[in-house]
């Protein structure tokens, strides 16, 4: 029986996601012994600095990728939104799993139960670690006090419950996967916040020269999700934006057609450059590149240049 080792971050959410992948692979391939190796990434170790100030070139993936390249593991499970659009030489994105709801969620402190962001008073303290969420929410709610929040989901929810924030903004997918969907107070519509590229999907990465593993993980690839996410990632790569650059997207797949919309937002939320594109699903990368071109034509490059001067270029 061949042993297959999956590399993963050791956060609760990462382990829930990885154990799901482990179970799916074990069920599909009973002749293999599917094992899990936990490790910490740079992003897990540095919790007292805003993500954008650390730099995001493999912030949550570099250690997992090194383990594959040195043969310690055979594949890695990532939240796809954390996986850079340009991978190290020798590694490939082998599968993209069916997507959970990719939207952003608001979790309110108990004193605001039943309220929405529109109903909170000016000066309310809103926690988020994402420049994408921050920029879009600043545009719509300039009177709020936005503050950075780091740590795993348990830590963030405790900070909220302790009264340090009036509300925090997280991913619907993570809350649902951990069984905390009842904490969601409001799901943000695309009109308020376009989600991160790849949000809600898992990316399975492995070595390009390992055909057995490539075939093994192929059962996890969900084609409609993969087409959407490939288009989103091509758009992000074309714009040279990384996981921490305020670029949001929304996509859907219908009748072999991809429908895409995206936003590039200035850090202060005063400039939101939007574009849309519809294209054949059989050419997702071309659709993403075309969308990026439309964003640039609408003035996104000037916004991006200013962002890159502030937070650096992504990956």
Q: Where are the alpha helices (DSSP H) in the chain?
A: 12-28, 42-45, 51-54, 62-69, 131-140, 153-161, 172-177, 211-217, 223-238, 284-297, 300-311
Q: To 5 degrees, how large is the angle CA 210–CA 212–CA 214?
A: 70
Out of 56, 82, 166, 210, the active site residue is: 82
DSSP state of 233: H
Contacts of 92 (CB under 8 A, 6+ apart): 205, 206, 207, 208, 214
Taking the C-alpha atoms of residue 146 and residue 114, their distance in angstroms, rounded to an integer, is 21
Dihedral of CA 74/78/81/84: which sign?
negative
26: tokens are 């074990």
CA of residue 161 relative to chain centroid, distance: 25
Cβ proximity of 262 and 291 under 8 Å: yes
Cβ proximity of 204 and 95 under 8 Å: yes
Contacts of 212 (CB under 8 A, 6+ apart): none
Any catalytic annotation for residue 82? Answer: yes
Taking the C-alpha atoms of residue 34 and residue 48, their distance in angstroms, rounded to an integer, is 35
Taking the C-alpha atoms of residue 114 and residue 176, their distance in angstroms, rounded to an integer, is 19
DSSP state of 109: -
**Looking at the chain, how many residues does it have?**
315
Q: To 5 degrees, how large is the angle CA 218–CA 60–CA 179?
A: 70
As annotated, the active-site residues are 82
């Amino acid at each position: 029986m061949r042993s297959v080792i999956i590399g993963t971050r050791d956060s609760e959410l990462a382990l829930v996601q990885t154990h799901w992948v482990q179970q799916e692979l074990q069920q599909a391939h009973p002749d293999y012994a599917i094992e899990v190796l936990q490790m910490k990434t740079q992003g897990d170790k540095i919790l007292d600095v805003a993500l954008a100030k650390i730099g995001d070139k493999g912030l949550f993936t570099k250690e997992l990728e090194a383990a594959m390249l040195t043969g310690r593991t055979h594949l890695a499970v990532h939240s796809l939104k954390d996986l850079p659009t340009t991978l190290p030489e020798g590694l490939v994105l082998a599968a993209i799993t069916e997507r959970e709801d990719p939207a952003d969620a608001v979790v309110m402190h108990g004193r605001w139960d039943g309220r929405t962001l529109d109903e909170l008073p000016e000066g309310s303290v809103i926690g988020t670690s994402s420049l994408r969420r921050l920029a879009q929410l600043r545009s719509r709610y300039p009177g709020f006090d936005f503050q950075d929040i780091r740590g795993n989901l348990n830590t963030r929810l405790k900070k909220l419950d302790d009264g340090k924030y009036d509300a925090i903004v997280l991913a619907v997918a993570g809350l649902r996967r951990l069984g905390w969907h009842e904490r969601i107070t409001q799901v943000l519509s695309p009109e308020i916040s376009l989600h991160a590229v790849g949000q809600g999907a898992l990316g399975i990465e492995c070595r390009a020269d390992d055909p057995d593993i490539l075939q093994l993980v192929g059962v996890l690839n969900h084609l409609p999700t993969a087409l959407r996410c490939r288009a989103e990632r091509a758009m992000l790569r074309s714009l040279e934006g990384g996981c921490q650059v305020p670029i949001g997207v929304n996509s859907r797949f219908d009748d072999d057609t991809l429908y895409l919309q995206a936003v590039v937002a200035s850090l202060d939320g005063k400039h939101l450059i939007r574009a849309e594109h519809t294209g054949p699903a059989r050419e997702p990368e071309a659709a993403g590149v075309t969308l990026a071109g439309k964003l640039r034509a609408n003035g996104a490059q000037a916004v991006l240049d200013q962002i890159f001067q502030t937070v650096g270029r992504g990956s």
